[in-house]
Amino acid sequence: MAPSVLLSDKIESVCPDILKKAGFSVTEKSGLSPEELAKEIGQYDGLVVRSATTVTKEVLVAGQKGSLKIVGRAGAGLDNIDVAAAQELGVKVVNTPGLNANAVAELTIALAIVLARKLWVAFSSIKEGRWEKKGLVGTELSGKVIGLVGLGFVGRLVAKKAQALDLKVWAYDPLIKPEDVKKAGAEPKTLDAIWAGADYISLHLPKTKETTNLVDAKVLSQIKKGAFLINAARGGLVDEKALYDSLVSGHLGGAALDVFSQEPPGASPLLSLPNFVATPHVGASSLEAQLNVAEEVAKLLVEYLGGQA
């Protein structure tokens, strides 16, 4: 019997096309709640998700009682999948790290430029009929220090692009040897050194128990006065209440978030601040990145289920 796969998030057509070409039965149903997914999942061998679907332990238990063998995430992060439960139940979890890294790295650099040149104020003011040239004196990136907290796929690409803009690159990553940090074009630094000395701090970490609210009130107080903070990695790495207080006080020069602890963020007080920039979790939302991850996750399922079902 042909393997069956459920696509529970909207995904580029290359994914179902590859699965169907391999002889798989493909069903596309987006917008399912965890409860609805749990009722549905037992009849499928594979599940493909992006970031909207939450794969809880209950979903995995229901799937394992049926025929579920693999969950594929079209993207890098696994925050929305209970990986520990999957391992316990024998359901394989795969993802596609690195294939959307360039899109996220480009957004990171874009946000740095937007912060440096106060472009969000410039955009809104001129659209509202104001000509505020004198009040929009920004700063240049050239010669400044960008501190990268995490030097994985995205961090390395940010380092490369930052060098092209004449930024000095510092990096902290306890999993990477100092000599390899240097090979990536960055100077190895401790976290304390990055907090205290970088003009721009960009987070490139997964969300774990250890990294949740990593940037809290204490850390924010240690950051160099006037510095800019960027998070296009995972929501929850920054204590948003503490970030609000730091921006209001003027200690931080500005901040840009592409990700929030709760998405959508609703009426977050951060959105009212003139020195805060936000985008709606679009770091990986480039045409190229979406095609890359959709193609790769389909190939991973074909490879695994081809000999499993």
Task: Give backbone dihedrals phi and psi of 186, rounded to 5 degrees, phi first.
Answer: -120, 160
Catalytic positions are 234, 263, 281
- Other Cβ atoms less than 10 A from the Cβ of 130: the count is 12
Exposed, middle or buried by CB within 10 Å (0-12, 13-18, 19+), for 174? Answer: exposed
Rg of the chain, C-alpha, whole Å: 21
Ramachandran sector of residue 23 (left: φ over 0; alpha: ψ -120 to 50; beta: rest): left
- Other Cβ atoms less than 10 A from the Cβ of 102: the count is 20
Contacts of 159 (CB under 8 A, 6+ apart): 148, 151, 169, 171, 184, 185, 186
**Torsion angle defined by CA atoms of residues 225, 230, 234 and 240, in that order, rounded to the nearest 10 degrees:** 40
Contacts of 170 (CB under 8 A, 6+ apart): 145, 146, 147, 148, 186, 187, 188, 189, 193, 194, 197, 198
How many whole angstroms from its chain centre is CA 223? 22
Q: Report the side by side order of strands in the sheet with 4-7.
A: 25-28, 4-7, 46-49, 70-73, 92-94
Contacts of 38 (CB under 8 A, 6+ apart): 56, 58, 59, 61, 62, 63
CB 50, CB 10: distance < 8 Å? yes
Report the C-alpha gap between 76 and 217 in whole angstroms: 28
Give the chain's end-to-end CA distance (angstroms, integer).
8
